A = this chain, B = another copy of it.
Amino acid sequence: MTIAGHAGHTGQAGLQPVESYLSEVLAAIRPLPPGELGLDEAEGAVLAEDVTAAWPLPPFDNSGMDGYAVLAADVAAAAPERPVTLPVRGEVPAGDTRRHELAPGTCLRIMTGAPVPSGADAVVPVEWTDGGSARGRQVTFTRPAGPGNAIRRAGGDAAVGDVLLRAGTRLGPVQLGLLAAAGRGTVTARRRPRLTVMSTGNELIEPGQPVTPGQIWESNSRMLAAAARQAGFRAARLPIVPDDKQAVLAAIEDALASADLLVTTGGVSMGGEHDIVKAALHDLGTVTFRKIAMQPGMPQGFGAVGPAATPIFTLPGNPVSAYVSFQLFVRPAASVLQGIDPERLAATSATLAAPVRSPAGRRSFLRGTLDPSAGVVAPVSGQQSHQLASLARANALIIVPEAVTELPEGADVDVLVLP
């Protein structure tokens, strides 16, 4: 590892470190107010209450198998050579809400999930019987069943008052299932936050439409909306916004109605009057623009806009810069909006398959292909911030620290795994 001694390299002065910017930004984001969500809108939400069992789980003693409800003592002596035959006095299917009583010396046919009749203390699986007589009037047992056999006790999964799920739990498939099983139709939780992304630039044309030289197809808004969904947001994209201050302000106004977080790309470089996003947001007052000690993604803006002080990230327009900035700064905002610790990209370390270079004083996030089983990461060819085709071949970001300007093949590096 070559440690560069040029931390004071010209042009790097005044850059804000990545970690300090990230902390500052995340600290400025307030969690959404919790709401009462129906189960269908609760997928991916984060609980804002401890959910306790209002009823036992299961709610009543029920059969774990298809078979016969008995008094265990009545079949205690059953064996293949000494079978026991009992009269079948009825049938209890699953969902049966009648009240059944078992008389000693008799049995009831019972199905999986059906309530165990009072008086019965065991269920004998149908496989341990002759299956019952043709008209179902009697059944012969060839094996005994101990008390409690094949009975799932009320409260055996959770008792009344048990905490089923703690506040702060993200509601995945099983947690949703458990809420349903506990009878909850709604739950107090913070829903998945809504992110709106807008791309600005007179040069941008919708893919599928013809371009003339000087124009390019717009790619950032779809890419970032999809990345946002992957990160747990609900995401929408606005139509391309032209380089016009009023148009940008109108688009932001529009987006504020239905977004918990805004993301713009483009319009924030060094070009003065052409940096329309910067100009528009200066009027809104609370957005600040900085240079971060990183590559790609140096120019970043963050603030709050509108009556609800909706957080806004202004990401650079270069697609690779926009994507890397999103993963580092916007992704963890999702969990912060949901009131839990920021979730970041998975980190690992690996051995470099080729030498790399990095500017002094800036943390590089080079695009690489990680082979996790071999523990090796190779930088992809094409490390410039407009090289989206190269990014599409990568599955990881190789971190080169601020003070390092080059690393040889074989060096150990920290790596972020792309989702």
A window 369-403: CB within 8 A of B: 382, 384, 386-392, 394
Query: A238 to B142, alpha carbons, bound, how many Å?
Result: 42
B interface footprint on A279-292 (CB within 8 Å = 1, 0 otherwise): 00000000000000
Q: Is the CB of B164 within 8 A of A271?
A: no
Query: A113 to B387, alpha carbons, bound, how many Å?
Result: 13
Q: Is the CB of B389 within 8 A of A164?
A: yes
In the complex, which residue of chain B has the Cβ closest to the Cβ of A164?
B389
Query: A270 to B388, alpha carbons, bound, how many Å?
Result: 56
Q: Distance (Å) between the CB of A165 and the closest chain B CB?
A: 7
Q: Is the CB of A95 within 8 A of B386?
A: no
A386 CB contact (under 8 Å) in B58, B172, B394? B58
Q: Is the CB of A176 within 8 A of B222?
A: yes
Q: Distance (Å) between the CB of A110 and the closest chain B CB?
A: 9
Which A residues lie at the B interface, using CB under 8 A? 11, 39-40, 43, 53, 57-60, 64-66, 93-98, 111-115, 125-127, 152, 156-158, 162, 164-165, 172-186, 201-204, 206-209, 211-220, 222-224, 226-227, 229-230, 243, 269-272, 274, 317, 319, 323, 382, 384, 386-392, 394, 418-419
With A173-B224, A176-B222 already in contact, the answer to whether A212 and B97 are too (CB < 8 A) is yes
Q: Is the CB of A202 within 8 A of B271?
A: no
* 26 residue pairs A–B, Cβ–Cβ below 8 Å: A57-B388, A57-B389, A59-B211, A60-B213, A60-B214, A95-B201, A97-B212, A97-B215, A111-B271, A112-B317, A113-B201, A156-B382, A157-B382, A157-B388, A164-B389, A173-B222, A174-B391, A176-B222, A177-B319, A178-B392, A180-B218, A180-B219, A180-B223, A181-B219, A183-B217, A185-B209
A227 CB contact (under 8 Å) in B111, B125, B173? B173
> What are the residues of chain B within 8 A of A227 when measuring CB–CB?
173-174
In the complex, which residue of chain B has the Cβ closest to the Cβ of A163?
B389
> What are the residues of chain B within 8 A of A93 when measuring CB–CB?
202, 243, 274
| Chain A residues touching B, majority SS | loop
Q: Distance (Å) between the CB of A352 and the closest chain B CB?
A: 22
With A157-B390, A181-B219 already in contact, the answer to whether A112 and B269 are too (CB < 8 A) is yes
Q: Is the CB of A184 within 8 A of B207?
A: yes
Q: Is the CB of B126 within 8 A of A271?
A: yes
Q: Distance (Å) between the CB of A302 and the closest chain B CB?
A: 20
Not counting A53-B389, A174-B388, A180-B219, a sample of 15 additional A-B residue pairs whose C-beta atoms are within 8 angstroms of each other reads A43-B229, A66-B274, A97-B214, A112-B269, A113-B203, A114-B203, A156-B382, A157-B382, A172-B230, A174-B391, A178-B389, A178-B391, A180-B217, A181-B388, A185-B208
